[in-house]
Structure 1
Amino acid sequence: MRMRLMQAGAELLGEVGIERISTNQVASRAGVTPPVFYRHFKDKYDLLAALGSTLMEAQNDILYEWLERSAPAGFEELMGAHYQFLLSTIQATAEMPGAVWIMRALRAVPSLTAVRLASHEMVTDRICRAMGPLLPDMDPAELRLRTRIAVDAGYAAVEMALDDPSMSPESVCRALTQMWLGGLRHGV
């Protein structure tokens, strides 16, 4: 039932937006009564947090696969595969109902910011563990800072590629990959 409510919530979020979505609408769309909704979620923000966590876990799984597959082969291989990792993330996100609205909610709703920040910190740690040995001369604090910025830039790039039809996902991926590669190699 929880998944059914989440699916209904994701669909409605894309239709009516963050401000207008209500627990009654979600319950009705899921074919249940409001008390059933409240057995699974405290309020609409609890539902949005669950949707955000689910979305970010799916995105993070793609990142973990990229790191596990490419990092052992070295920096060049890892960065060479970054474009495809980012494109796969955009494609997987596009397939999720309400994904753009979920991402907006994670950025705009103060009570949901912690979900996004916790995920970004987790993937920053994971990337730094993979990249540290590949960039042994880089100061670990500087690597962490650049990685954290890149993680947020990646999140924004996914959102931009899905939000703005004038920008192809491929061009967004290519630009961000080149920016990150240059920043890690040469700094400023």
Structure 2
Amino acid sequence: MSKRAAQPAETSVVQLGARTTPSQTRARNTLEAVLSTAGDLLGEVGFERLTTNLVCERAGMTPPALYRYFPNKYAILSELARRLMDAQDEAVFAWVRNGGLQAASLETAVEKNRRLQQQVNEITRQIPGGIWIMRALRAVPLLRDIRIASRDKVARHISERLTETYPNVPESELFRAARLTTEVAYAATEMVLEEPALDEARINEDVCWMVAMHYKRLADRYAQSR
């Protein structure tokens, strides 16, 4: 069945993001309850059928109370999307800090990348509505900038740290390679979460070999052109 996203008629006037950033504990708890409820509902009904009224009903609050925090469902989706991307991004940054980019062999590089891929998959599973948030990021134009910003932030972080490993490769090439491999890894996460019957371990291994071989070919290309 097709799951096309219902789009607001006037995308230019749709407000995204929370109206306020609560400072009091009670208000923060309310905001977190809204997001948790919306995430659970996404897993049940999908983003097309998600409504603020449905969130209010499940969370036991009135629409005016919810609108103090989020003006519409797209604002809720936007916050959920940012949080998912931040969680995935932080896993990558921690992996880099712990030496994920350093490998003495292709096999080691593949294994390190495989562990990261599995971790990102698990992070997405553990977040309520995680796969539906990823679907919304792909299907809802209002949310696509969140995904693009995340991709570019991760790609920039990786490419900047690869300059020492690949000193002969131009920075623009490293950034392009990092963008490409980030997209491929993201697509693999979508693939295994969309279709649980697939062999996740095999897909993770395959995509990590693609990534490792791509960087090896890039390094070899510029080593030969010296």
Whole-angstrom CA distance in 2 between matches of 1:126 and 1:10: 29
> Which aligned pairs between 1:1-188 and structure 2 lie closer than 5 A?
1-71=30-100, 73-74=102-103, 76=105, 79-187=110-218
Asked if 1 retains the 8 angstrom alpha-carbon contact of 2:101 and 2:162, the reply is: no
Give the share of equivalent positions with the same residue, in percent.
32
Distance 1:152 1:72, change over 3 A: closer
Instruction: Check the 8 A contact 1:41/1:47 in 2, yes or no.
Output: yes
One-letter amino acid of the counterpart of residue 39, structure 1: R
- Runs of 4+ that moved beyond 4 A: 71-79
Asked whether the 8 Å contact 1:75–1:134 carries over to 2, the reply is no
Give the gaps of 5 or more residues in structure 2.
1-29, 222-226
1:94-122 deviations in whole A, cap 9, x for unaligned? 11111000000011100000111111111
> 2:54 and 2:45 mapped to 1: Cα distance?
10
Shift of 1:72: 7.2
CA distance in 1, matches of 2:100, 2:74: 37
How far 1:142 moved relative to its partner?
Answer: 1.4
TM-score, normalised by the number of residues in structure 2: 0.79
The normalised TM-score by structure 1 is 0.94
1:1-54 per-position Cα deviation (integer Å, ceiling 9, x unaligned): 111000111111111111111001011111111111111112100100000001
User: Rg bigger for which structure?
Assistant: 2
Higher fraction of helix? 1
RMSD: 1.7
**How many matched pairs?**
188
C-alpha distance in 2, partners of 1:169/1:111? 30
Q: Which residue of 1 is the match for residue 13 of structure 2?
A: none
Structure 1: which 5+ runs fail to align? none
Relative to structure 1, the CA distance from residue 21 to residue 134 in structure 2 (aligned partners, 3 Å threshold; closer, same or farther) is: same
